[in-house]
Chains A and B, each alone.
Chain A
């Protein structure tokens, strides 16, 4: 993806890739970072940094009518009122948000 964007911009050099990662993406930050260098070499991105922004899980509590951060993945309940919650507003992200490029 970063390769594509770089090509679209006349093969600009990619300094860094910014990634948003939610706890429910099923991906571990450490695993991403450890495989990053290898992936870069194969994609012509050698030397690029991977900047991971970890975002919390946000759920919607129907009883409070509010979005709430979920303190624990082991308990899908509103941290304020205890109501079980199933609507996840944020936390599944595995998303490239930005590239730092040098033209």
Chain B
């Protein structure tokens, strides 16, 4: 028996499953007292270098760990492990972003309670990671001076969903004629009020501003 087709209201988010897992993760992080920072950027903007430096500087005083996502290779995990912090690689295969379930699976046998900070380095990509909540407390977007000032306008969604922006490779800014004011203006256009820090991982400049910012969030 065939009847007239009818419309059934549903109202369900397509990424509902990811949102549920992200919420569980956020609760788990909260209960364990660990502050979670995720890092997003295009490939090659200096996420791993910035994170390695951050881990190294935090290590004497805090208990830190990192998860790092890549399509392939464990190179980044090996680089981050030089800091002495526990590090795990998540290899996504062909997937261009991390999802909450991957974080959950990578952490199943990992006790969160002894940690102060957990860092999650996403796959280098300015598009898809913006759609996936990972349960993090802070989403940090990096923009290197070699990429150009207009990246925020080209990828407004990722900048709009981030909490803080870090301009990296500042020691190269002059050589590549990077217009810092224009970059900061563009960031403010797509995410008004966002904190923007300037960092040179190689020279160590700006790292203390970043750590001061991080401490203030952890305390609050």
Contacts and interface: CB of A to CB of B under 8 A. Distances in A.
B12 A96 contact: yes
B132 to A, nearest CB: 9
Nearest to A21: B14
B28 interface: no
A7 interface: no
Interface in B110-163: 127-128, 130-131, 153, 156-158, 160-161
B157 A24 contact: yes
Contacts of A76: 160, 189-192
A94 B128 contact: no
Given A25-B131, A26-B130, A76-B190, A94 B13 contact: yes
B5 A101 contact: yes
B12 A102 contact: no
> How big is the B interface, by class?
20 to 34
B6 interface: yes
Given A19-B14, A94-B14, A102 B2 contact: yes
A77 B85 CA distance: 42
B182 to A, nearest CB: 13
Nearest to A94: B14
B9 interface: yes
B5 A74 contact: no
B3 to A, nearest CB: 6
Contacts, number: 87
Contacts of B193: 84, 86
Given A94-B15, A95-B13, A96-B14, A74 B190 contact: yes
Nearest to B160: A24
A94 B160 CA distance: 17
> How big is the A interface, by class?
20 to 34
A73 B191 CA distance: 10
B189 A74 contact: yes
Interface string A14-50: 0100110001111100000000000000000000000
B147 to A, nearest CB: 17
Interface string A64-103: 0000000001111100000011101000011111111111
> Residue among B4, B10, B130 with the most chain A CB within 10 A?
B10
Interface in B159-191: 160-161, 188-191
23 contacts: A5-B10, A9-B8, A23-B157, A26-B158, A73-B190, A75-B190, A76-B160, A76-B190, A76-B192, A86-B192, A88-B160, A93-B13, A95-B14, A96-B12, A97-B9, A97-B10, A98-B7, A100-B6, A100-B7, A101-B6, A102-B3, A102-B6, A103-B6
